[in-house]
Amino acid sequence: MELIRESINPGWISTLAAIFGSLVGALGSGVSTWVVSLQKIHLEKDLRCDGARKTQVCWTLMVRLPGSVYIVVTNLRVRQDKPAKGMASSSVKAARRS
């Protein structure tokens, strides 16, 4: 035990503490930088995916909307060309009376 006490110098202890403290600080800083860069990568990926989803929705609406408008306009034209059943029967009855 006396041999260990004699070989341990207070100067060595403080030197080793400074070296290991520096290593732990550098390791912590490196890990922190790595985690932040991973978070940025995932955030950018999510933003790109959101932009792609919005673009896809816009294109889908742009493609489907004119088709829907065409169907509605065509149905309105067909309805205008064909009179309703109730109106046709009353106009036919009025024409027969005259």
pLDDT in tens, 47-78: 777 777 777 777 777 777 777 777 777 777 77
pLDDT of residue 97: 55
For residues 60 and 68, the answer to whether their CB atoms sit within 8 Å is no
CA distance 12 to 20: 12
Quote the pTM value: 0.42
Radius of gyration of the chain (CA): 41
pLDDT of residue 93: 52
The length of the chain in residues reads: 98
At 10-42, the pLDDT tens digits run 888 899 999 999 999 999 999 999 999 888 888
